[in-house]
Structure 1
Amino acid sequence: MNKGYIQVYTGNGKGKTTAAIGLGVRAAGYKRQVYMVQFLKNTPTGELDSLKLLEPYFKLFRFQKTKGFFWNLNDEEKKILKAEVQETYDFIVKVMREGSCEVLILDEILGAYKNELITEEQIIYLIDIKPIEMELILTGRNAPEWLVNKADLVTEMKDIKHYAEKGIMARKGIEY
């Protein structure tokens, strides 16, 4: 690619990660190197096994070992999680400096930002050091205005109707 852009998939609706993976699958189909780094995710999901089939072109990275939703963690667990997120961030900086991939997906980075595990300044730094030819995709709810202004493409997933409202829990192979 001559020029890569900054894309954001945000909103309360379902499909942010799925959209980012779809873009990555398309790029991998053209033998472009795709890295997906997931924040705040550490449980088994269907995409883990599926994306292994696309290696070496599509690689998924997870650094978080702390289990549970952020709001259920105690102070010590949150401290550990923050260190894990910093390890993730350091890896991303290295990937960007080395130009290790053509497409870089930062899945749920906005969740890490919302929970104050990563700062606005850190995200802006990533945008600033992005190699010109790298496509950068950020996902998560509630994209802040400063990120919307910096992005080249912003898609908002909006709930209109969701079966969770009827008490239907997340289903293996569909939601995870």
Structure 2
Amino acid sequence: MITNKLEKGLIHVYTGDGKGKTTAALGQAIRTAGGGFKVLIIQFLKGDDTGELYSIEKMSPDLQLIRFGAMKKFYFQLNEEEKIEIQNNIKEGLETIKRHLIEENYNLIVMDEIMAVLYNKIIDLDEVLTLLKSKPSHVEMILTGRDAPKELIDLADYVTEMQMIKHPFEEGIYARKGIES
């Protein structure tokens, strides 16, 4: 159980079609850990070998990142067996978050790409809403991903929409190591 508690834990939603949702969440996670608080980052549906995996483990013992439902292709491209495996792994991730909320192990919990989990109907929106409504009052939560449901936006204290105006992908420049991955 954490001994150093936040005065009040709020809910953030970083959404939109622009770059920067995970980057903003990781920036807040680093700031929170630097302030002497414990942070858990749960990444859903991310399978790429990204830079944050290596820097976070070097940064602070108070900053932990775990992935659930890692994929190398889009969810709609998976066969039924692969989808079931991903669904089970995502449910394990949600149970991990619930357990840490009950045990009050972290001051900040990031649910990175939870919107993609909801969009693909891997878990039900009501389950996420219930989790957020039942969190301890001193635990901060950040949820990221495109297409945030209105119910999450209404529940959140902070909502930031990243809007794509221009992106190198449009010019055929794909994710670059150290910048987008």
Under TM normalisation by the shorter chain, which class is it?
over 0.9
Contact 1:66 1:77 (8 Å CA) reproduced: no
- Give the CA deviation at 1:63: 2.6
Deviation string for 1:74-116 (max 9, x for gaps)? 1111111111111111111101111110010000001000001
Contact 1:97 1:129 (8 Å CA) reproduced: no
Q: Which of 44, 50, 69 does residue 49 from structure 2 map onto? A: 44
Matching residue of 1:160: 165
Matching residue of 2:124: 119
| 1:84 and 2:89 are equivalent in the alignment | yes
Which secondary structure state, in structure 2, belongs to the residue aligned with residue 53 of structure 1?
helix
Contact 1:28 1:54 (8 Å CA) reproduced: no
- Give the CA deviation at 1:65: 4.6
Matching residue of 2:75: 70
| 1:141 and 2:153 are equivalent in the alignment | no
Q: Which of 18, 25, 28 does residue 20 from structure 1 map onto? A: 25
Cα separation, partners in 2 of 1:157 and 1:66, compared to 1, 3 Å: closer
- Give the CA deviation at 1:43: 2.4
Q: List alignment gaps of at least 5 residues for structure 2.
A: 1-5
Q: Output the CA distance in 1 between the equivalents of 2:178 and 2:131.
A: 32
Matching residue of 1:9: 14
Aligned-pair identity (%): 44
Which secondary structure state, in structure 2, belongs to the residue aligned with residue 106 of structure 1?
strand
Matching residue of 2:66: 61
Contact 1:9 1:156 (8 Å CA) reproduced: yes
Q: List structure 1 runs of 4+ shifted beyond 6 angstroms.
A: none
Matching residue of 1:99: 104
Q: Output the CA distance in 2 between the equivalents of 1:22 and 1:99.
A: 22
Q: Output the CA distance in 2 between the equivalents of 1:76 and 1:35.
A: 29
Residue 10 of structure 1 aligns with an amino acid whose one-letter code is T
TM (norm. structure 1) is 0.97
Which secondary structure state, in structure 1, belongs to the residue aligned with residue 59 of structure 2?
coil
Q: Output the CA distance in 1 between the equivalents of 2:71 and 2:17.
A: 24
Q: Output the CA distance in 1 between the equivalents of 2:166 and 2:72.
A: 29
Residue 152 of structure 2 aligns with an amino acid whose one-letter code is L
The RMSD of aligned alpha carbons is 1.0
TM (norm. structure 2) is 0.94
- Give the CA deviation at 1:53: 1.4
Matching residue of 2:3: none
